[in-house]
Amino acid sequence: MHPAPECPHPARVIAAWWTVLAVAVYLTTVTLHLPVTDLVDALAKRYGFPALDRGIRTGFAGLGALALAALWLAPRHRRTVLVVTGAVLAVSVLAAQRLLVVTGAEAVHYLQYGLVSLFLVRGGCSLETAWLASLGLGVVDEAYQHVVLPRGTPGYLDWNDIVLNGIGAACGLALAAAWLDTSAVRSGSTTPRLQWLIAAVLLAGCALLAACGLLGTQCPRFDVTPGGREYLVLSAGAAAVLLGLAWFLVRYLSSWLASAPTRPRA
């Protein structure tokens, strides 16, 4: 008799499903750009844009407050580093909302890529790998919008949105660090070999974007919407600096998790 096939370990099956869920969230964000834009336009016509924008901003502000509360209510032995991380992320979000965001609906980037990074961690990725993967998916999303979508996109690759994606992904990782069992999270940083691979891919991607004329403005500049709102248009270089700072924060959180106790110290 042939031996019965070995069943997959339940933990691996659960991790695979979390990864599938992360991919599903990402594909949903890619495919629903125009339907969501149409929905927001319809609601704006019915209720007026100022009222709709205030409502959306209030809703996302409430979600942000809940996220900060979740960090504060994390186990005591994790609280200090998470409060520091949460404070840095809160300042980053407020600065982005003031300088980079035109409408309240753009805050959906935080939610979308926060969920993607959180689900990737549940699927077994390290924090740093989950952030890098989420950021890469966000760049692909923005390039897709610029090249493929027939309307609702600027005439340049939107580095503002890519930075929002990176901030959102970091927010998801902070929540993962707050509540997931550290023994169940692969918290180590990426290996040097993988770092060189990531650097090579980023350089090749930048070269491709430059060849296609998608790198956007040469320097950051202020622009004004038809409604009179002034906002900052990031260049590729400025976005790279901001994302580098976000990566540093993720590495700090990842390094802390690698040495954190699984239980509070007595």
pLDDT tens column, 144-188: 887 787 665 666 678 899 999 999 999 999 999 888 765 555 555
137 within domain boundaries: yes
Would you state the pLDDT for residue 192? 63
Q: How confident is the model at residue 94 (pLDDT cuts 50, 70, 90)?
A: very high
Nearest Cα neighbor of 77 from 256, 261, 258 is 261
Cα gap 129→16, rounded to integer Å: 16
Q: How far is CA 232 from CA 99, 140, 207, in A?
A: 5, 22, 24
17 within domain boundaries: no
pLDDT surpassing 50 at residue 264: no
pTM: 0.87
Domain with 69 in it: 52-259
109-156 pLDDT, tens digit each: 999 999 999 999 988 888 888 998 999 899 889 888 877 876 656 666
3 within domain boundaries: no
153 within domain boundaries: yes
225 within domain boundaries: yes
Rg (alpha carbons) of the chain, rounded to whole number: 20
Dig out the tokens for 3 from the structure. 């031996």
229 within domain boundaries: yes
Would you state the pLDDT for residue 153? 60
Dig out the tokens for 262 from the structure. 């699984």
Average pLDDT on 207-228 reads 70
Q: Answer for the pair 216, 159: CB distance below 8 angstroms, yes or no.
A: yes
24 within domain boundaries: no
Sign of CA dihedral 113, 118, 122, 128: positive
43 within domain boundaries: no
Average pLDDT on 100-113 reads 93
